[in-house]
Amino acid sequence: VDVLGEDHKLHFQAIKRIVEILDKDIDLRALFYSFVKLPEGRMSTRRGTVVYLDDLMDEAEERVAAIIKERGYSPEEEKRIIRDVAVAAIRFHILNVQEEKPMTFRWEDALNFEGESGPFIQYTHARAASILRKAEWNGEYNPNMISHPQEIKLLKLMARYQETIQKSAENLSPHIVARYAYSLASQFNQFYRDCPVLKAEENVRIFRLAIVKAFKKIIRDLLELLGIEAPEKM
């Protein structure tokens, strides 16, 4: 599968037609992305308004560094987190938009730790990891301990994991995975808000730990599919 800009669509169709005429058994498929714009307008090489990836990454890392400064990380941890979050901000912000729709890249959206962004999903994964680190649990649980509507909502959404991945693959649409990951992270945070885990009654605590563990695995897999790291700490 080739990933091309929408301005290459006609060229690709011509190549595909040539292959058909030559009777070659080649399955040519392409994913066409619309243009990424800046808030001030469309990028143009002639006007000198092009943003190169290296410059974009440098600015992303500078912005992330300013956000997470003075949080007590070691130099090694800080460097890793800055890089991982910067990549997540850029990749998710682009992949979250349906490929054929134009998008405007805004830093305030890409680096919003409380909104529809890669860093928000990473932070939610780190929150789940923190809960599991603090818990003393042997992995066993009673599946009949559902006691709150937020547990049901989260479990139902997690159950859509396989069908979502399949739909994304069949349609060559990574935005389906991105949007599902955000929905799942948002639902987990509602569960976290309304359903105490570590301080719950023992049988409920153990059941909720099982939910947290399952969520952590799924959200980590989704981030990996999007090419985004899933930090254990943030």
178-218 pLDDT per residue, tens: 999 999 999 999 999 999 999 999 999 999 999 999 999 99
Residue with tokens 């909720």: 208
Q: What percent of the chain has pLDDT over 70?
A: 96
Tokens found for residue 42: 């469309």
CA dihedral 160, 166, 172, 175 (to 10 degrees): 10
- Domains of the chain, by residue range, sit at 1-33, 34-225
Cβ burial, residue 7 (10 Å; 0-12/13-18/19+): exposed
Q: Is the per-residue pLDDT at 106 higher than 90?
A: no
CATH of domain 34-225: 1.10.730.10
Residue 136 identity: E
- If one counts every other C-beta atom within 10 angstroms of the C-beta of residue 95, the result is 23
Tens of pLDDT, residues 134-179: 998 887 888 888 889 999 999 999 999 999 999 999 999 999 999 9
Q: Is the per-residue pLDDT at 44 higher than 80?
A: no
pTM for the structure as a whole: 0.85
Tokens found for residue 188: 């987990």
Pure H helices in the chain: 9-21, 53-68, 75-95, 107-110, 118-134, 149-158, 161-171, 174-194, 202-225
